[in-house]
Amino acid sequence: MSRNNGLYLIIGALVVAVIGLGIYVYQEEQEPSGVELKIGQNGVSIEEN
């Protein structure tokens, strides 16, 4: 019985990790909306997203 509980624990942890990674990747792929202001060597740059 203990062996099965350990297996379920490992599978559950893997499922949680995959779901968390999926959410992280989805949020990173979303392009932010609004105005982007960059200040660099070439001056000030304003871009609307």
Answer whether 0.75 is exceeded by the pTM: no
Over residues 4-38, the pLDDT tens digits come to 899 999 999 999 999 999 999 998 888 667 788 88
The reported pLDDT for the residue numbered 34 is 79
* Beta strand segments in the chain, E: 35-40, 43-48
Number of domains in the chain: 1
Helical residues (DSSP H) of the chain, grouped into ranges: 2-29
Confidence band, pLDDT 50/70/90 cuts, at residue 1: low
Instruction: Please give the residue range of the domain that contains residue 14.
Output: 2-48
What is the predicted pLDDT for the residue at 18? 97
